[in-house]
Amino acid sequence: MDNIKVQQNIQEELISINQTSINNFENSLWPKPMDEEWRRTNLAKYNMAGFQTLSINPENSLEISSISDKDDNSSLVIRKSADKKASINIIEADAESIIIYEPEYPSKLDKINTELIIKLAEDAAGRIDNKLSSLALSSFKDSIFIIIPENLELNKPLIVEFEISDNDRTFLPNIFVNAGDNSQVKIIQKITSSDNSNISGVLNLFCGVNSNIHTATVTDIGPDSLIFLNRFINLSKEAFLSDFQSCTGGKLVKTRTEIDLTGKKADARLYGVIFAEDNTQVDMRTVQHHMAKDCFSQAMIKSVVKDKGRSIYQGLIEVEEDASLTDAYLTNHNLVLNNGARADSIPSLKIRNNDVKCSHGSTTGRINEEQILYLTSRGISLEEARQMILEGFLSSVYDHLSEDINLYCSPLIMDKIKQKEAVL
């Protein structure tokens, strides 16, 4: 197949997915509280009018997203701003072998990489099940596809930054990644927006055989913004995944992370931190879906809630009939800082095989006043004492992350918590 036919094929396939998603979006209703996943998040309380399908530009703008400063702590930085071509800053030489594809600005691809990109898009499209996830795939204007070659080992993280400053524009920050067999990479996705933004995005990641993948998704959005993220990750045989997500800012943040362990001896570790303040509502859902024999998974999610903030965590371990020898755990711990704040925890199991070890648990409590007394009696101020306790509470999550991801992600939420108004 020559290059012209390859380009026509991929464009036709992606446009077809967009059109199907547009039809689904226009012909479906917003999720309702009668749906189990949305039982505690009522969209009727929010102005959803800003979520609209994107118009197609007759001519692509050649303006490039602002270049990030060179960061010696990363291997590759991709920065994508709304309606602009991504800027790519390669720091580690081995990162030059990575294929980066933008549907809005198509580049030359061989047949194999074309098929991988189409497969990633089709797999994500097959998972959409509501109006918001349909919207995310209604356009690939803000999307990045990344093909990581087999056997590639990057010492430092690959960072993908999505940024929008236009309050009147729907933003669809989608990232699709195929990590080849035996690859070892760390991938950080950061989504930044100004106030009153409307964001719906998808992460779809395929982890090849014996791959070792560390991922993180962090958000830094305006206080009146609404953001919905669907994160789908598939693990092949003997693949290892460490995944982290932090949810802060915004009026409403709702994320869903589904991990499919489809290969024997796959290993998935999920970590998450929620910080809900003011009138923010954060709704996080994780699914550990065991589909193959002899796999391990665990999830550790912690939340800090203050003012009239509300955190909701829904965790599910699902084990299929053929997934014997499953070993899976799920824990959620919440710290409520004052009256009026609220934390809901809904862990659950769905087991179809008897030869498994599965458990879940959750706790919700307040700062221990004896700890406060102990610290203040030794000359530490009340504010500093509370900050120390909060840091200690979350540190058990950050301690599980790779050093690179910890250094990048933990300050983004700890800086918010350390602010005086966040702990009084």
> pLDDT by residue (tens digit) across 153-171?
999 999 999 998 766 678 9
Relative to beta strand 76-81, strand 87-90 is: antiparallel
Q: Is residue 411 part of a domain?
A: no
pLDDT confidence tier of residue 422, bands split at 50, 70 and 90: very low
Least confident of 3-7, 151-155, 196-200: 3-7
pLDDT(192) > 60: yes
The burial class, CB within 10 Å (0-12 / 13-18 / 19+), for 61 is exposed
pLDDT(414) > 70: yes
Q: What is the pLDDT of residue 419?
A: 63
Q: Is residue 37 part of a domain?
A: yes
Q: Is residue 324 part of a domain?
A: yes
- Per DSSP, the chain holds a count of helices (H) and strands (E) of 6, 20
Tell me the pTM. 0.93
Q: Look at 67 and 411; give whichever has higher pLDDT.
A: 411
* Tally of structural domains, the chain: 1
pLDDT(421) > 50: no
Least confident of 77-86, 167-176, 203-212, 415-424: 415-424
For 318, the domain range is: 3-368
Least confident of 98-112, 114-128, 403-417: 403-417
- Residue 394 Cα to chain centre, angstroms: 19
pLDDT(69) > 70: no
Give me the mean pLDDT over the 263-286 stretch: 95
CB atoms within 10 A of CB 322: 11
Q: Is residue 383 part of a domain?
A: no
Give me the mean pLDDT over the 143-161 stretch: 96
Q: Look at 424 and 204; give whichever has higher pLDDT.
A: 204
Question: Is residue 198 within 8 Å of 166, Cβ to Cβ?
Answer: no
Q: Look at 379 and 13; give whichever has higher pLDDT.
A: 13
> pLDDT by residue (tens digit) across 305-321?
998 999 999 999 999 99
CB atoms within 10 A of CB 110: 11
What's the chain's length in residues? Answer: 424
pLDDT exceeding 70 applies to what percent of the chain? 93
Give me the mean pLDDT over the 93-98 stretch: 94
- Residue 133 Cα to chain centre, angstroms: 14
List Cβ neighbours of 148 (8 Å cut-off, separation of 6 or more). 98, 177, 178, 179, 180, 183, 185
Question: Is residue 324 within 8 Å of 355, Cβ to Cβ?
Answer: yes
Q: Is residue 413 part of a domain?
A: no
Q: Is residue 312 part of a domain?
A: yes
Q: What is the pLDDT of residue 196?
A: 85
- Alpha-carbon distance of 295 to 327, in angstroms, equals 6
Q: Look at 368 and 304; give whichever has higher pLDDT.
A: 304
Q: Is residue 133 part of a domain?
A: yes
